Structures are given as structure tokens and as C-alpha cells.
Amino acid sequence: MVTLYGSAISNYYNKIKLALMEKEIAFIEVLLAPNQDESILKRSPLGKIPFIKSNEGYLSESQAILEYLEDAFPVNPLYPTEAFERAKCREFIQHLELNVELIARRLYAEAFFGGHVSQEIKDEVLAKLTLGLTGLNRLIKLSPYAVGDKFTAADVAAWPHLQLVSSATQKIYGQSLVEKYIPGIDVYFKMIESRPYAQKVGEERMTALAARFKNN
């Protein structure tokens, strides 16, 4: 049994949650916010979420978790069998997370949590996101899935990350930069959201968000 620690507010948590569900791996959830409590730091070195507990021990960092799940539970694979196609899937995820989501994250405080982001940061993020999304558009296939004709780990990452980036940029810049630089992404979102597990992840994210703002 796998235990998943974190919060459905987190796109990285939802990346792993969707992977567990799509691979039909039995798991339980323990709701937990990022924190610096010593008991958490022993399981996740920087107190970040998500992290998991497996029969072998604790594991943090979503991409390491995703690849562990693929190796430890080979049924319902999320990576292609051919070495080069597996590498292309990893390339897509790395580009998405380093050159798009990590950049856009600087907007989230104002876009979602009532904070303030300076105009200087907004301008810098806009320039870097333009480059990152333009590059991602060169990698994404939408045929109909992110890297080909099958649902893969690339989709497990693309759906929660790009949805969040799209929403954040809509709020900050008055337009979704994801839709601007990746034509057809709206159709892709609808296709992924037609999948039962994605629907469940999305519903539970909305519930977690509603609870978060009710308590603030």
C-alpha cells in the first residue's frame, strides 16, 4: 500500500495522485501542508509535498515518485516501451516543469492567494513564459495526447501544471498564455477532463480550494 502525503491544492500532488489512479495502484491519502516540522523533514528533506511512503520507505520529489511508481508497479504503464520515446516523455516533463511551471509559480501568490507580485516580476515572468511555452509547443503533439496517441506520464504532468499556469496568466495578464502559445490546448484539456480519474482529481482539488479559502 502506498501512502500519499500532501494537499489536493498542489498541482504536483495531483500529478502523483492522477498517476496512482491511472495505474490503479492502491493508496491512501494523508492531508498535509508543507512545513518544517522535524518529523516531516525526516520524510521530505525540505518539508515539501508531495511525498509518499512505500513498503521500502519514504520518497519525495514528484518526478522521482512518478518514475518509482512506474518501475515498482509495471501494470498499466505510463511510459512508452521504446527507450527513445520514454526519453521524449521525460524531456517533455522536464521542459514543462523547469521552463514553464517553475517560472509561472512566481505569479501564484497574487493570482490565487491574495498576495502581491511586483510589475518587474510580472514582466520578467511574461518574457520567460513566452520562451518556455513557445518551446513546449514545439514538443507537444496533441495527437491527441501530449506526446502521441496514448495517455502517458506526460499527460499526468501536463494537465495539472498547464491548467494552473493557464489560470494564473489569465488572472495576471488578462489572457491565458497557455492558450496563446499552444493552439488547441483547450480541446486537450476537455479531453483529459473526460477521463473519470481526472474528473475525480479535479473535483477533489476544487473541494480542497473551497475549504482553504473558507478557513482564511
pLDDT given at position 209: 83
Domains of the chain (ranges; CATH) run 2-72 (3.40.30.10), 83-215 (1.20.1050.10)
- For residue 139, what are the β-bridge partners? none
For residue 208, the model assigns a pLDDT of 87
The reported pLDDT for the residue numbered 142 is 97
What is residue 191's three-state secondary structure? helix
Q: Is the pLDDT of residue 216 over 80?
A: no
pLDDT tens for each residue of 108-123? 999 999 999 999 999 9
- 215 pLDDT band (50/70/90 cuts)? low
pLDDT of residue 15 exceeding 70, the answer is yes
pLDDT at 78: 98
Total-model pTM: 0.95
pLDDT tens digits, 50-86: 999 999 999 999 999 999 999 999 999 999 999 999 9
Output the pLDDT for position 100.
98
Is pLDDT above 90 for 196? Answer: yes
Instruction: Determine the average pLDDT of the residues in 135-142.
Output: 98
The pLDDT value recorded for residue 12 is 98
Nine cell digits for residue 63: 518526478
| Residue 179: predicted pLDDT | 98
Q: What is the pLDDT of residue 213?
A: 64
* CA 123, 130, 66, 155 torsion-angle sign: positive
Q: What per-residue confidence (pLDDT) applies to 67?
A: 97
Give the integer Cα–Cα distance in Å for 24 and 53.
17
Residue 214: the pLDDT is 65
151 three-class SS: coil
User: Residue 211 — pLDDT band, cuts 50, 70, 90?
Assistant: confident
- The rounded mean pLDDT for the chain is 96
pLDDT of 97 > 70? The answer is yes
pLDDT of 129-138, one tens digit each?
999 999 999 9
- Three-state DSSP state, 59: strand
d(CA 93, CA 79): 12
pLDDT at 22 over 60: yes
